Structure 1
Amino acid sequence: MDSLFSLFDPSSCSDCSSEGFSLDNVNNQNSLPPEPQLGNVEYKLKIVNPTKQRFEHLVTQLKWRLREGNGEAIYEIGVEDSGILTGLTKRDMNASLQTLQQMAIKLGATTTILRERMLDNGCSVAEVLVRKVPDDQNNIEIRVAVLGNADAGKSTLLGVLTQGSLDNGRGRARLNMFRHLHEIQSGRTSSISHEILGFNSQGQPVNYSSSELITAEEICDTSTKLVTFLDLAGHKKYIRTTIQGLSGYSPHHAMLVISSTAGAVGMAHEHLTIAVALNVPFFIVITKTDLVEPASTLQSLESFLKQVGSCRVPLVIKNLDDVITAGANQLTENVVPIFCVSSVNGEGLDLLFRFLHVLPPGISAKEKERLEQEMPEFHIDENFKTGDVGQILGGLLIKGVITEGTKMKVGPMKDGTFQTVAIKSIHRNRVPCRMVRAGQSAAICLDTNIPGLRNGMVLLSNEQAASSCLYFQASVSVLFHATAIYPGFQTTVHIGNIRQTAVVIGICASRCIHTNERDSILFKFKVHPEYVTVGQRLLFREGAAKGIGEVTQVFPLSVTP
C-alpha cells in the first residue's frame, strides 16, 4: 500500500548496510507513485461541492475501497491520479475533508486525519483514514504474535498495553498475563495466552483502564478495531510451543521484543527466522530504555536483520510521520519499524499505540469472503474440560462459518476416523457469540465429551468427506543442517496446529539433501494419522537443524463419508 510521503521504495535498496530512511530524506519529493487501481488507497485532488450524482459516485467508490481494505481505506487529499502532490488551499482542504466526512457518514464510517503536510507552494496535502466495521463483524480484528528472548519484557509490555497502567520496575504489570503458578514464580511464559487491546472510532485506546470494572465484552463492543496479542514463550525450553503459536494461529503480524539491556541475543534470532520462514510481517520493540540507552542495540540490529536472509531497511520510529510511513509499508516486508519504549516511564508507548491503531489487516475482504464460502475447517490448538460446561476446543477457523447448534465431525482419532459432534456454544475474546467466521479464533463448547481428543485435530463439516493420512509429500528447503538429511531422519514437523514427529521415508531427486538445498521429501507420521491438505506450509526442526516447505501430496489412510 503506497501512502502519502512514503516515497522511498525499499525494494530498490541495493545496499543492505543502509542506516534506514526518514521522512527528512523525502521532503523534496513532489509526487507519489500513480494511483493504484486495486487496494484501499484513493487519490483525490479535491472534492469541493460535488453534485448529487457526483456525490453518490464518490460514496460508491469509497465503499469499494473500504471493501478492498477489509474495512479501512486511505484517502490522499490534494494528490492527482498521476501521484503529483499539487496541494490545496486551506479553504479547499477544509471543504474536501468535510465532503469526505459526509461520504463516510453516508456509509456509517468514521474519518481520522493521519497527517497533513505543507508544500513549498503554500498549499497542503492530507492523509485520511476512513474506517467502517464490516456489517458481518463486531470490529476489525488483527492478530499479533509477541516474540522475543526470555526476560526481554514481553509480558510486561503486554500488561502495560492491555491493562493501561505502567510497570513498577519489578514486573507487576506482567502478573495478569500469566496463566499458571509456575509462570508467576519464575516470571517466564510457558503457554500461549491471548490479550486484547481495542481502539475506538477516534483512535483512542480501549483497555482495562478505560473505566472501572470494564470487561472484555465491553472492550469488544466499544472498539472499532481490536488487536489480539498472542503472548508466546521466549525460553528455549518452550520453543515448540512458540512455533505452534506462530504456525497454528496464523498471526497477521509479529512483534519481536528485544531488551536494551541484553540486545538481540538468545532466542530472538531463532524466533525471527521462524517468522520470516512463515512469511509473517514483523516489527521490533526495544524495551527497558529507562535502564540503558538503546543506541548500541540499534547498531547491532542492522547486522541482525541481515541474518534473517533478505535485505530489510530498519526505520527507527521517532515521530508520528514515521508511524504512518511504517504502517503503510508494513505488508511490503521491506521496512522494519523499530520502537524504543519503556514500560516503567512510558517513553515511546504513545507511538506504539498509534502504530497498532493504523496497522493494516493482513487479509483482503475479497479473500475473506472467498474463505467464508467454503466448508468450515476449525483447527484445534487447545482442548480441556471445565466444570459442568463440558468439552472446550480452542483454535482458529481457517475456512467457512460455524454457528451454534451446527453438527460437525472431529478427528482424526488414533485409528484415523472422525466422530460426529454438535456445537453447544461459542466464545470469542472471552465473550459469548453465536457465530465464528473464517480467520477468527474462538473457544467452542461441544455437546458431549469425546475421549481421545488432542491438539492438532480439526472440526469439519458433516457434509464433506474427511480423510486422514500417515504419509504425505512436501517440497522442502533446508535452512540448516550440520551435515545432510538422509532417509530415516526423524524430526518434529509443524503443519498449522499439528506438531508430531515424522520420519523421512524418501528424497525424490537425490540420496540426501544439504543446507540451502531444495527437494521433494516423503514423510511418515510416527505416532498417529493427521488431517493434512495440499498447500499447507510446513516447518520442521530437530536440534539446530531446521527447514520449511509446502505439502504437495497427501496419501489418505481412511475416508469418513
Structure 2
Amino acid sequence: MFVRFIKNELSDLVQRICTVGNVDAGKSTLLGVLTHNILDDGRGLARNKLLRHRHEKETGRTSSIGQQILGFDDFGNVVNPTVHGKLDWGQLCQKSSKIVNFYDLAGHEKYFKTTVSGIMGSASDYCMLVVGSNHGLTGMAREHLGVAVALGLPTFAVVTKIDFTPANIIKQTISGMGKAFKSSGIRRIPILVQNVNHVIVAAENFNSSKVVPIFKVSSVNGEGMDNLKLFLNLVRPSRKKSTSQNSTFAVDEIFYKVGIGTVVAGALTGKPIKAGSTMSLGPDENGKFSPVGVRSIERKYLSVSVCNRHFSHIFILIFKSLNDGESAALALRKIKRNEIRKGMFLVQNIANPMAYRHFRGTVTILHHATTIKKNYQAVVHIGSIHQSAKIMSMDKQILRSGDVSTVHFYFLKRPEYIQIGQLFLFREGKTKAIGRITELVE
C-alpha cells in the first residue's frame, strides 16, 4: 500500500523528468497529451501546444529545452485542466499535492548538444525514454539511453503510436528494447507494464535503477495512458538532501522583463536564500565574482519568500520555502542581461568563491572510434556548464573505448565554478566519456 503524507508545502513532491528519444518518436505529442489533458488528432494538435518557435511548429521537431508540468491531487487524480491556450501553472500548483516537471528535449542529432545540456543541467530525478513503436530503439534513442545510464538516472520507457502500428511490429520493438536493456553495458531488467498490478511492482522497484518499466501508449486513442499516469503519481522521489552549509544557485536561463529587470532561472543547492539578500555572481571571463542583490524570488509564477535547496528553473509556486531539489526564478538588482551567461552561479556563505581552469578527474571512455591522446579536445558538460576543454595529461599514453584513466583537463575559454565530486560528461561527435572530478588545480 502506498501512503502519501499531505504536507503544507509541495517541495518534497516535485519530481523532474527529462524526456528523450529519437526524432519523430512522439515525445512532444506525449507530453502535450499528459499535461493538457487532451488526446491528439494525429496531425500535431497536442505537440503544437508545447512547441515555442516558429520553425519547430513548421517541422514538428523540438530544437530547444521545453518544460511542462503535470499535477496530481491528494487522491491521485490529474488536476491539469483541458485548455486551448497556456496552462496557468500557479493555479495548477495550488491544487496539487504532487508535481511532475517534464523537460522536453530535442531528438534530432543536430541538437544533441542541446539535449545533453538539458539532461546534465536539469538535475533530473528520472529519464523517460520515448520510443516509436514503428521504428524501435534506433538512432539517437540509443545515444540518449547511453547518456542516461552513464549518469545513473533511473529510466522508464514509453512505446508510442501503438494505435496504427501492427501488433507484430510492436512485439519486435519491445523485444529489441528488452535485449538492449539486458545487454552487458546496461544490465537492467525490463518490465512490460500492462495492468495496475504491474504499475505497483514497477513503482516499488524503480528507484533501485535495476528495472526499466516499459509502457505501451497511444496519444490518439488514449490506450495505456492511465497506467502511465498512475506510475508517475506513485513513483517515489529519489533525491538526496544536501548537507552543505553554503547556497549555490546554478544559472540555466536568463530573461529580461520590463519593469523588473534581469531574471535568472535555475537550481538551488544548499541552504535557503531570501529575497532581498546579497549574493556573489560569477565567474566572469576572468574568474571573478561580484556582489548582486536578489530583488525577488518566484516559483511557478508565484512569489516565494525563502528559496531552499534544489528547485530548478522558471517555475514558481506559493511555498513558504523552496526545498531541496527545487527550481526558482530570481530577479536581480542593477545588473544587465549581457553581464550574465548560462553556467554562472549565485553563491552565498562562501567567503572567497574560486573558479578553476584546470581540474583532474577519473574518466571512463564510453565510446571512441580510434584512440584518445594528450591534447585531445572535446566539449565538457558539468551540470549547466558546457565548454571546450583540452586534455593536458593522462596516466596512460592512449585511451580506447572501455578504458578508465585519471585525466588532467584545461578549459579553453574561461575558468568555471566547479567542485570535487561532480559528475561530468565530455563528448566530441560520437565520442562520449563520463567522469567525476577528483582534484581542482590552481
Short-chain TM bin: over 0.9
Instruction: Tell me the amino acid that sits aligned with residue 343 of structure 2.
Output: G
For 1:513 and 1:269, the matched residues in 2 are separated by 23
Q: 1:312 to 1:167 in 2, by over 3 A?
A: same
Instruction: Tell me the amino acid that sits aligned with residue 254 of structure 2.
Output: N
Deviation at 1:309, TM superposition (A): 0.8
Alignment of 1:372-521 (within 5 A): 374-438=245-309, 439-450=325-336, 451-461=338-348, 463-507=350-394, 509-521=395-407
2:128–2:156 contact (8 Å) kept in structure 1: yes
Q: 1:210 to 1:545 in 2, by over 3 A?
A: closer
Moved over 3 A (4+): 133-139, 210-214
Per-residue displacement from partner, 1:513-557 (whole Å, max 9, x unpaired)? 22111111100000111101100001000112110010011124x
For 1:309 and 1:430, the matched residues in 2 are separated by 42
Deviation at 1:425, TM superposition (A): 1.7
Q: 1:139 to 1:470 in 2, by over 3 A?
A: closer
2:90–2:301 contact (8 Å) kept in structure 1: yes
Deviation at 1:336, TM superposition (A): 0.9
Deviation at 1:210, TM superposition (A): 8.7
Q: Report the RMSD for the aligned CA atoms in angstroms.
A: 1.8
- Identify which of 431, 438, 442 aligns with 1:552: 438
1:408–1:420 contact (8 Å) kept in structure 2: yes
Unmatched runs of 5 consecutive residues or more in structure 2:
310-324
2:191–2:213 contact (8 Å) kept in structure 1: yes
2:214 maps to 338
Which is higher, the Rg of structure 1 or of structure 2? 1
- Given the alignment of the two structures, is residue 312 of structure 1 paired with residue 188 of structure 2, yes or no? yes
For 2:302 and 2:161, the matched residues in 1 are separated by 34
Report the secondary structure of 1:322's partner residue.
helix
For 2:8 and 2:352, the matched residues in 1 are separated by 32
Instruction: Tell me the amino acid that sits aligned with residue 188 of structure 1.
Output: R
Deviation at 1:385, TM superposition (A): 1.5
- Given the alignment of the two structures, is residue 357 of structure 1 paired with residue 244 of structure 2, yes or no? no
1:109 maps to none
Alignment of 1:318-333 (within 5 A): 318-333=194-209
Deviation at 1:215, TM superposition (A): 2.1
Deviation at 1:436, TM superposition (A): 2.4
For 1:168 and 1:256, the matched residues in 2 are separated by 22
Quick one: percent identity of the two aligned structures? 39
Instruction: Tell me the amino acid that sits aligned with residue 176 of structure 1.
Output: K
Deviation at 1:263, TM superposition (A): 1.2
2:261–2:332 contact (8 Å) kept in structure 1: yes
Alignment of 1:64-79 (within 5 A): none
Q: 1:337 to 1:494 in 2, by over 3 A?
A: same
For 1:536 and 1:215, the matched residues in 2 are separated by 35
1:282 maps to 155
Per-residue displacement from partner, 1:394-443 (whole Å, max 9, x unpaired)? 11112221221111011100011111111112222233322322111122
For 1:538 and 1:138, the matched residues in 2 are separated by 27
| TM-score with structure 1 setting the length | 0.73
For 1:310 and 1:362, the matched residues in 2 are separated by 20
2:247–2:349 contact (8 Å) kept in structure 1: no
Per-residue displacement from partner, 1:246-294 (whole Å, max 9, x unpaired)? 1111101110000111111110000000001111100000001111032
1:106 maps to none
Q: 1:362 to 1:446 in 2, by over 3 A?
A: same
For 1:277 and 1:465, the matched residues in 2 are separated by 33
Q: 1:500 to 1:353 in 2, by over 3 A?
A: same
For 2:230 and 2:21, the matched residues in 1 are separated by 22
Instruction: Tell me the amino acid that sits aligned with residue 427 of structure 2.
Output: R
2:125 maps to 252
2:38 maps to 165
For 2:59 and 2:430, the matched residues in 1 are separated by 26
Instruction: Tell me the amino acid that sits aligned with residue 296 of structure 1.
Output: Q
Deviation at 1:492, TM superposition (A): 0.4
For 2:386 and 2:72, the matched residues in 1 are separated by 35
Per-residue displacement from partner, 1:219-238 (whole Å, max 9, x unpaired)? 11111111000111111111
Deviation at 1:335, TM superposition (A): 1.3
Higher relative contact order structure (alpha carbons within 8 Å, sequence separation ≥ 6): 2
Report the secondary structure of 2:354's partner residue.
strand
2:137 maps to 264
Deviation at 1:191, TM superposition (A): 1.1
For 2:271 and 2:81, the matched residues in 1 are separated by 32
Instruction: Tell me the amino acid that sits aligned with residue 318 of structure 1.
Output: Q
- Given the alignment of the two structures, is residue 191 of structure 1 paired with residue 64 of structure 2, yes or no? yes
Deviation at 1:182, TM superposition (A): 1.4
1:405–1:422 contact (8 Å) kept in structure 2: yes
For 1:167 and 1:423, the matched residues in 2 are separated by 42
Alignment of 1:524-535 (within 5 A): 524-535=410-421
| TM-score with structure 2 setting the length | 0.92
Instruction: Tell me the amino acid that sits aligned with residue 238 of structure 1.
Output: Y
1:258–1:284 contact (8 Å) kept in structure 2: yes
